[in-house]
């Protein structure tokens, strides 16, 4: 399968292999299949899918993956050069790479003489033979070979002649790609630039085959900088993991470098129309991995285009580039104005326009909202991380808020049985909707879980769409610890219906009551949004 001609920088994602080596990351076979489909949707060139010789799960994955039709990506099996003292034909690990039946194989070999003599325990000459014979064997088997020069930059600093010699062995044996690895992640961009230039001297330059690539780790917090430096120096193949998962401090985050390559360096690295899906698909990868995308992650984090200070918000509304380096829509993200006492009226008005487009900075409602916001924040409320609660607050000030249900009463009981039995909680709630009452009960792992279950069970008779809603995050903070156990607490809840995600807040001296307030806001926000979307579909432009 051929890549689009517009691709100038190839991307290899190793989330399924190097990413799976990160602490706290574990993928089932089904997870890996889902990740392949997601990365293919993004338009990634190569997907390094695992080491079939290392565990049965990876071999099972490759068996199942053979039945997947991909639109853009090519799967790669990953492994090491042949073992010392045997031929490639006799190496069972290399045979497992062939059994994986991928068109492309990624092979890593040693470039640092320290690793050759002290880790592998072989001579420098034997290591060169291991590289050359392995690449040649795989080429004879009809495979495309990507050669990863492990510890290349450390090796180039310590013994440049030998490090470059190992690259020559792979090149002369027929490697299709030569990838320079900063495996320890400790080198600075200037070293990456010089080492890349030396390697490019062996191949004739960036535009000639085989392409030279970069594989950086983040141990000095410079993986992205080093990868971009290598591209500027001439690399046209970049390896990483979409969200930066990986050994120790992780790998290059492709979600962070893809926009920089495409938008800042002007080198297309995804098919047309795919960059705009970067936010969506990055968060899908996070969902599959059961890891939240860091809020502060460049380009695709929730805070990447969030503005809190009033001066920043005012500047953005006057001229976007005054406080944003790119238009967030280019990567599928959104601009957010955080609501707080330092936010200013410009930000408040911009958010209120989503409910009433006539609201301006000087509108009386804006002044009323600013005053109410300051008052509530003095009482411990915080809306910068609770957009949904703030939207409900705006609706109240505009007179466009009508409660869709009412909790007449609720009770929560926690049990802690003796004898080592697990603790559990029970809740019941009596809800009122348009003159009808419903009583429901639920059991949960804790009181908030139980209350959430009871509320949604009682309301689903009236609002079946709540079946799709679940809590995705729950945070509690003591606002002022001087009152000890009687202090106010602030509860932040993140909810999702599988498509959209929203956050709400509640404050009280009682943690259950604070949770109830946040839960009610979450449910009402979902219901109001669904009602308005249905109305808009029937009467476009008349909301």
- Residues 173 and 230 reside in one and the same domain: yes
Whole-prediction pTM value? 0.73
- The pLDDT tens digits of the residues spanning 54-104 come to 888 899 999 999 999 999 999 999 999 999 999 999 999 999 999 999 999
- Residues 278 and 364 reside in one and the same domain: no
- Residues 337 and 447 reside in one and the same domain: no
In this predicted structure, the answer to whether residue 541 has a pLDDT above a threshold of 80 is: no
Q: Which of 323-332, 464-473, 496-505, 532-541 has the lowest mean pLDDT?
A: 532-541
- Domain membership of residue 355 (yes or no) is yes
- Residues 417 and 346 reside in one and the same domain: no
The number of distinct structural domains making up the chain is 3
Q: What is the mean pLDDT of the chain?
A: 89
- Residues 528 and 435 reside in one and the same domain: yes
- Domain membership of residue 397 (yes or no) is no
- Domain membership of residue 299 (yes or no) is no
Q: Confidence class of residue 381 from pLDDT cuts 50, 70 and 90?
A: confident
- Domain membership of residue 69 (yes or no) is yes
How far is C-alpha 413 from the chain's CA centre? 37
Q: Which domain holds residue 357?
A: 306-382
Cβ atoms within 10 Å, residue 244 = 25
Instruction: Please identify, among 261, 289, 317, the residue that sits at the C-terminal boundary of a domain.
Output: 289
Residue 424 burial (10 A CB sphere; 0-12, 13-18, 19+): middle
| CATH code for the domain of 492 | 3.30.160.270
What are the beta bridge partners of residue 240?
A: 13
- Residues 456 and 514 reside in one and the same domain: yes
- Residues 242 and 210 reside in one and the same domain: yes
- Residues 92 and 135 reside in one and the same domain: yes
Taking CA atoms, 124 is separated from 112, 119, 134, in Å, by 10, 12, 16
- Residues 194 and 327 reside in one and the same domain: no
| CATH code for the domain of 143 | 3.20.20.70
Query: b/e for 348-363, b at 16 or more Cβ within 10 A?
Result: bbbbbeebeeebebeb
Question: How far, in Å, CA of 473 to CA of 455, rounded?
Answer: 18
Q: Confidence class of residue 540 from pLDDT cuts 50, 70 and 90?
A: low
- Residues 190 and 259 reside in one and the same domain: yes
Let me know how many helices (H) and strands (E) the chain has, helices first.
17, 16
Asked if residue 210 has a cis previous peptide bond (ω within 30° of 0), the answer is: yes
- Domain membership of residue 390 (yes or no) is no
- Residues 73 and 195 reside in one and the same domain: yes
Please tell me what DSSP assigns to residue 294.
P
- Residues 335 and 283 reside in one and the same domain: no
């Amino acid at each position: 399968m051929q890549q689009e001609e517009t691709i100038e920088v190839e991307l290899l994602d190793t989330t399924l292999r190097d990413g799976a080596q990160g602490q706290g990351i574990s993928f089932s076979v089904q997870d890996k299949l889902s990740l392949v489909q997601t990365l293919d949707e993004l338009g990634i060139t190569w997907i390094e899918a695992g080491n079939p010789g290392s565990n049965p799960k990876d071999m099972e994955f490759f068996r199942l993956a053979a039945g997947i039709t991909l639109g853009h990506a090519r799967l790669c099996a990953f492994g090491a050069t042949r073992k010392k003292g045997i031929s490639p034909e006799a190496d069972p690990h290399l045979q497992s790479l062939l059994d994986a039946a991928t068109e492309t194989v990624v092979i890593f070999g040693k470039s640092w003489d320290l690793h050759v003599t002290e880790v592998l325990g072989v001579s420098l000459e034997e290591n060169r033979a291991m590289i050359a014979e392995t690449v040649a064997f795989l080429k004879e088997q009809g495979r495309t070979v990507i050669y990863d020069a492990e510890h290349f930059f450390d090796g180039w600093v310590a013994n440049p002649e030998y490090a470059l010699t190992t690259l020559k062995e792979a090149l002369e044996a027929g490697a299709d790609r030569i990838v320079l690895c900063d495996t320890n992640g400790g080198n600075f961009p200037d070293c990456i630039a010089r080492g890349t230039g030396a390697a490019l001297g062996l191949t004739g330059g960036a535009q000639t085959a085989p392409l030279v690539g970069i594989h950086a780790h983040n141990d000095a917090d410079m993986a992205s900088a080093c990868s971009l430096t290598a591209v500027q120096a001439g690399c046209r193949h970049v390896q990483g993991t979409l969200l930066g998962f990986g050994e120790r401090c992780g790998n290059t985050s492709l979600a962070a470098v893809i926009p920089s390559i495409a938008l800042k360096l002007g080198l297309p690295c995804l098919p047309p129309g795919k960059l705009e899906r970067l936010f969506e698909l990055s968060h899908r990868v996070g969902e599959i991995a059961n890891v939240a995308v860091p809020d502060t992650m460049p380009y695709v984090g929730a805070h990447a285009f969030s503005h809190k200070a009033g001066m920043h918000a005012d500047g953005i509304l006057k001229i976007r580039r005054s406080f944003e380096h790119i238009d967030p829509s280019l990567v599928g993200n959104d601009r957010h104005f955080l609501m707080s006492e330092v936010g200013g009226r410009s930000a408040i008005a911009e958010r209120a326009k989503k409910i009433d487009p006539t609201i301006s900075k000087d509108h009386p409602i804006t002044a009323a909202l600013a005053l109410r916001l300051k008052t509530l924040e003095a009482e411990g409320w915080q809306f910068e991380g609770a957009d949904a609660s703030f939207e409900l607050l705006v609706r109240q000030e505009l007179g466009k808020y009508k409660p869709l249900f009412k909790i007449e009463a609720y009770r929560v009981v926690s049990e802690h049985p003796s004898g080592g039995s697990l603790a559990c909680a029970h809740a019941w709630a009596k809800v009122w909707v348009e003159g009808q009452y419903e009583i429901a009960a639920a059991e949960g792992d804790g009181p908030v879980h139980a209350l959430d279950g009871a509320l949604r069970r009682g309301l689903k008779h009236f609002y079946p769409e709540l079946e799709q809603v679940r809590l995705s995050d729950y945070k509690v903070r003591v606002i002022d610890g001087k009152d000890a156990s009687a202090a106010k607490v602030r509860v932040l809840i993140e909810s999702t219906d599988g498509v959209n995600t929203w956050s709400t807040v509640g404050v009280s001296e009682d943690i259950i009551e604070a949770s109830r307030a946040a839960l009610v806001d979450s449910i009402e926000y979902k219901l109001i949004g669904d009602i308005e979307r249905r109305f808009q579909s029937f009467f476009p432009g008349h909301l």
